[in-house]
Amino acid sequence: MAEKTPSLTYFQKKPISCPVCQTEFYREELLTGRGRLIAGNLTQELRRLYEPSKKFGEVIPLAYPVTVCPSCYFAAWKEDFLKISESQLERAADETSQRIQWVSEVMEGVDFRGSRGLSEGLASYMLAVLCYDYFPSEVSPVMKQGVSSLRGAWLALDMHKKYPEDHFDYLAKMLYRKARFFYLTAIEYESSGKQGIGGCPNPGPDLDKNYMFDGVLYIYGYLEFHYGPRKDPVKREENLKRAKRTIARIFGMGRASKNKPQAILDNARDLYSEIGEALGLENLDPEKDSDNQ
């Protein structure tokens, strides 16, 4: 008798009630043991890649963190789904058709009533970016819009590899640019006290490791360098100088670089050098730069 292949996911036994439309549904959760996740390389964007396994095939951990109502497409990270501002419930309900139509225009066949695939994962982050406009500042919605945009860009690139004729590469670029805007805004809000990032205790950016505020600074610098606006050369230079200073903060925060993950330090140092070269600067040292801030 053939051995039964273990499941990749399961649905929670207790239903969730959508705070916007009151539909009850069951969240799908990813199982991670028994060789389901085979960690691969870490990219320059701090994304953890995974190798397909013989038993389970391709596994997409990023497809599951966002909870999405299958009826009205209200979406948020798992821990925030019931925390929508009461003052925004009517707005969220009124904009239901807009959310559903937007997703259907971007890709076909999305269905949140069954098991998720890559397209549902991508759509879930796109919806989260929209829906965090409904949330109070206590949950750090801007930071979560940034991380959701970034993860959405990753999954859009994955879609582009599978369906190269469907222009998912264009969607990825759009999401990267959105991520750059939200990351910059989150850092500025954190500095001014307008909105902290404490309500996002795990900004990742991926699921395997939390690089905390250092990761936020690094990802902003990366996104500014690769996806920041370029039409105005003067503005571009100003933005790159800001990105360079931001990266330098990773090495100066608490003077505790030795205790920080090597991955963030190595990537930050390489990025700092790339930005310096783009600015026409030589022999740069991020530690010294941080001392001058």
pLDDT (average), residues 247-253: 84
Model pLDDT, residue 259: 78
Note the pLDDT tens digit of each residue in 63-83.
Answer: 999 999 999 999 999 999 999
Dig out the tokens for 268 from the structure. 């930050």
Per the listing, tokens 């990023």 go with 62
Indicate the pLDDT class of residue 260, thresholds 50, 70 and 90: confident
Comparison of pLDDT for 213 and 287, the residue scoring more: 213
Tell me the two tokens of residue 278. Answer: 């783009």
3-state helix, strand, coil in the chain (%, to 5): 55, 10, 35
pLDDT above 70 (res 256): no
The predicted structure's pLDDT at residue 4: 45
**What's the pTM?**
0.94
Could you tell me what percent of the chain has a pLDDT over 90?
84
